[in-house]
């Protein structure tokens, strides 16, 4: 069946994935207030249809010195290979063919070398500054040696937030719960078979937290020990001094943080609340975007992550000042539904919807989109 919307891909992923894995992709932290806020705030941004000659349209743009086919980047996702065996490599290939960047995660199942090996567009690489600074330096060196020119530094994860569904902290369930989980996994033999054939359950960029017998529990313990709550802006300067390529700071939600990132030499910031997976009372990203654009938009690029579920949402973000958007769950839905072809389908859906929205707002080019596409006086959609 051909999926025509991101929601259709989501429903396909829900049917194909074990409940534990789908909930990991879908869920947020705590009561999932920030996750809901991203979607609700995005849906209320009203746009203005305009009459203009839009017979010729272009969706391409340029970010961080790179020409891309859509104002879109695939976000880093920890354990993204759980959606589909070898899924990170497949998603990177699909992104490259679509002409957009893919960001490989430090905590990916596949090693960066495996992701980059047959990908025609070098991936971006996401980094945590761990307590073990030598490990973070080694990860940067590996990324450089593999041709990565963009480093995405995540700054909003000083420790692990509580997650009440999916692969949260309760990773040693009681026997009854364990039996229920095993039954759920057993109902998806296709998912099991692909992963058994790939034999890739480890964290490819790190030394074996998932290779231990207790798997996810070992990872949670290791990551909890390595995340650094003492991380400060001077550490961003440390990264900047060691990374010769473009530096993107992800996890900015206010003007002061954006200015700090700019002063430390960032080339772009991503307005992000970690997809609602960290601070559960965080602002919706689309609500924070105008403040960040006003503070640093003339000094560096401003990207947005969180709440994007359609091409219309991409246009909303661009109209509010974003240079590009980053997506996580949408392409994971496609990956879980149909592997590489599902990621291609996700990107095709977003392209079609963005093209339609662009035309209806009277714009012929992504570069033309600005606040004039917004409804007068910043009106919101009536609910």
Active-site residue (options: 114, 163, 195, 274): 274
Q: Which of 279, 335, 332 is nearest to 309 (CA)?
A: 332
Radius of gyration of the CA atoms of the chain, in A: 20
- The C-alpha atoms of residue 72 and residue 74 are separated, in whole angstroms, by 7
Residues 186, 281 contacting (CB under 8 angstroms): no
- The C-alpha atoms of residue 224 and residue 222 are separated, in whole angstroms, by 5
Q: In what order do the strands lie in the sheet with 150-154?
A: 72-74, 324-327, 301-305, 268-271, 246-252, 150-154, 124-127, 103-104
Task: Measure Cα distances from 89 to 309, 339, 371 in Å.
Answer: 23, 10, 37
Task: Kindly report the length of the chain.
Answer: 383
Residues 248, 303 contacting (CB under 8 angstroms): yes
| Helix (H) / strand (E) containing 246 | strand 246-252
Look up 163 and say whether it is catalytic: no
Residue 265 tokens read as: 């030499």
Task: Measure Cα distances from 204 to 78, 92, 210, 211 in Å.
Answer: 11, 15, 9, 10
Using DSSP, state whether 270 is helix, strand or coil: strand
Q: Which residues contact 234 (CB under 8 A, 6 or more apart)?
A: none
| Helix (H) / strand (E) containing 117 | helix 112-117
| Helix (H) / strand (E) containing 52 | none
- The C-alpha atoms of residue 167 and residue 128 are separated, in whole angstroms, by 20
- The C-alpha atoms of residue 278 and residue 159 are separated, in whole angstroms, by 9
Lookup result for tokens 């001094």: 241
Question: Which are the catalytic amino acids?
Answer: 274
């Amino acid at each position: 069946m051909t999926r025509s919307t991101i929601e259709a891909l989501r429903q396909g992923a829900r049917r194909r994935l074990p409940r534990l894995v789908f909930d990991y992709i879908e869920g947020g932290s705590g009561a999932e207030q920030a996750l809901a806020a991203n979607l609700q705030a995005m849906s209320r941004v009203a746009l203005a249809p305009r009459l203009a000659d839009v017979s010729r349209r272009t969706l391409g743009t340029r970010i961080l010195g790179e020409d891309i086919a859509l104002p879109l980047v695939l976000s880093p996702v920890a354990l993204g290979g759980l959606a589909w065996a070898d899924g990170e490599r497949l998603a990177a290939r699909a992104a490259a063919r679509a002409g957009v960047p893919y960001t490989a995660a430090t905590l990916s199942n596949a090693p960066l070398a495996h992701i980059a090996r047959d990908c025609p567009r070098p991936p971006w690489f996401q980094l945590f500054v761990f307590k073990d600074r030598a490990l973070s330096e080694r990860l940067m060196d590996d990324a450089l040696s593999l041709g990565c020119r963009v480093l995405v530094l995540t700054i909003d994860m000083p420790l692990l937030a509580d997650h009440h569904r999916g692969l949260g902290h309760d990773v040693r369930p009681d026997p009854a719960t364990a039996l229920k989980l095993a039954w759920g996994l057993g109902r998806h033999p296709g998912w099991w078979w692909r992963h058994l054939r790939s034999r890739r359950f480890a964290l490819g960029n790190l030394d074996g937290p998932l290779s231990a017998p207790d798997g996810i529990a070992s990872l949670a313990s290791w990551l909890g020990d390595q995340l650094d709550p003492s991380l400060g802006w001077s550490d961003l300067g440390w990264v900047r001094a060691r990374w010769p390529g473009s530096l993107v700071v992800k996890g900015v939600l206010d003007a002061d943080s954006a200015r700090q990132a700019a002063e430390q030499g960032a080339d772009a910031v991503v307005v992000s609340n970690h997809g609602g997976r960290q601070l559960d009372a965080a602002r919706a990203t689309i609500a924070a975007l105008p403040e960040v654009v006003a503070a640093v938009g003339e000094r560096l690029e401003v990207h947005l992550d969180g709440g994007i579920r359609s091409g219309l949402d991409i246009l909303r973000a661009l109209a509010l000042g974003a240079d590009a958007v980053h997506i996580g769950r949408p392409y994971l839905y496609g990956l879980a539904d149909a592997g590489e072809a599902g990621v291609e389908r996700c990107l095709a859906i977003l392209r079609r919807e963005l093209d339609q929205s662009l035309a209806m707002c009277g714009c012929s080019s992504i570069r033309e989109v600005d606040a004039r596409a917004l409804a007068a006086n910043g009106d919101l959609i009536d609910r």
